[in-house]
């Protein structure tokens, strides 16, 4: 049973560049959520995708966008990178429609913006 | 006010002792509560979930929930050095499209 997979594991970019991160959910899951985790902080909710639509969004600017594909996989895009975007980006998958919905995390993408 | 508050620690306990981790939350509509363990440089791993008031035990771990006080705790019995990690508390509101809120985590150090 494949868990949540993310790629790449590490990424180094410069200010102003654009980046795309990818996530495949756990088998049987249909919902993907993205989180940003700065060093020493808890995960901060970016947005959630379900049925190929953004369903919820946290307090992140429009530079952060995403997509969900028919196979439930998802991408996170960040434009015009800032130094402050350096963080661990976590993808979490879940099965919508259950009151006992639980999040399972991928191993994350460590993004460094220079 | 943050949705989920945790003492950042570090909490230091000797090997074999009981570690007690605490969390408070602000949304009275929260219905599900979770504890995640996160080793340095790794992603969070779900270790406990609790949905009703009282205690829930799983091996060396016990989660405690008091909705009236908006308080969740995690007890780790017979603490081991391998338990040294950051413990994240998360709460979920089913009426808010199952949105999850995470605390900033408590760092636990178990000393041999």
Tokens in use for B104?
């900033």
Residues in A touching B37 (Cβ below 8 Å): none
How high is the pLDDT of residue B97?
65
Mutation pick from A43, A56, A104 vs chain B, by most beta carbons of B within 10 Å, is: A43
Please compute the mean of the pLDDT values over residues B26-34 and round it to a whole number: 91
User: What would the pLDDT profile of A10-63 be if each residue is shown by its tens digit?
Assistant: 999 999 999 999 999 999 999 999 999 998 899 999 999 999 999 889 999 999
What confidence tier does B2 reach under pLDDT thresholds 50, 70, 90?
confident
What confidence tier does A99 reach under pLDDT thresholds 50, 70, 90?
low
Cα dist from B24 to A108, B68, B70, B104, whole Å: 27, 11, 6, 12
Tokens in use for B69?
């006080």
How much of chain A, in percent, has pLDDT values that exceed 70? Answer: 96
How high is the pLDDT of residue B93?
83
Give chain B as a 3 state SS string: CCCEECCCCCEEEECCCCEEEEEEECCCCCCEEEEEEECCCCCCEEEEEECCCEEEEECCEEEEEECCCCEEEEEECCCCHHHCEEEEEEEEEHHHCCEEEECCCEEEEEEC
Taking residue A20's Cβ as centre, other Cβ atoms within 10 Å add up to: 14
Residue A65 pLDDT > 90: yes
How high is the pLDDT of residue A56?
87
Q: What is the mean pLDDT of chain A?
A: 93
Mutation pick from B98, B99, B101, B107 vs chain A, by most beta carbons of A within 10 Å, is: B98
Residue B96 pLDDT > 70: no
Burial of A2 (0-12, 13-18, 19+ CB in 10 A): exposed
Tokens in use for B43?
């992603």
Separation of CA B26 from chain center? 15
Q: Which of A41, A43, A48 sits opposite B44 (nearest CB)?
A: A43
Residue B36 pLDDT > 80: yes
Q: Which of A40, A90, A99 sits opposite B43 (nearest CB)?
A: A90
How high is the pLDDT of residue A37?
95
Q: Phi/psi of residue A85, each to 5°?
A: -80, -5
What confidence tier does B99 reach under pLDDT thresholds 50, 70, 90?
confident
Do A37 and A106 form a contact (C-beta atoms < 8 A)? no
């Amino acid at each position: 049973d494949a868990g949540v997979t993310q790629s790449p594991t590490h990424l180094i970019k410069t200010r102003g560049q654009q980046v795309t991160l990818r996530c495949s959910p756990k088998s049987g899951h249909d919902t993907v959520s993205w989180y940003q985790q700065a060093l020493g902080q808890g995960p901060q909710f970016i947005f959630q995708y379900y049925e190929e639509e953004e369903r919820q969004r946290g307090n992140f600017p429009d530079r952060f966008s995403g997509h969900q594909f028919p196979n439930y996989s998802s991408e996170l895009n960040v434009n015009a990178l800032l130094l402050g975007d350096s963080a661990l980006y976590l993808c979490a998958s879940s099965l919508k429609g259950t009151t006992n919905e639980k999040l399972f995390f991928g191993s994350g993408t460590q993004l460094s913006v220079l | 006010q943050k949705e989920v508050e945790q003492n950042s620690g570090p909490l230091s306990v000797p090997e074999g002792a009981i570690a007690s981790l605490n969390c408070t939350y602000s949304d009275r509509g929260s219905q599900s509560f979770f504890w995640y363990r996160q080793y340095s440089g790794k992603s969070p791993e779900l270790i406990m979930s609790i949905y009703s008031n009282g205690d829930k035990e799983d091996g060396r771990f016990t989660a405690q929930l008091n909705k009236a006080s908006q308080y969740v705790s995690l007890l780790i019995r017979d603490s081991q050095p391998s338990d040294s990690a950051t413990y994240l508390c998360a709460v979920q509101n089913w009426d808010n499209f199952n949105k999850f809120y995470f605390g900033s985590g408590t760092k636990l150090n178990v000393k041999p």
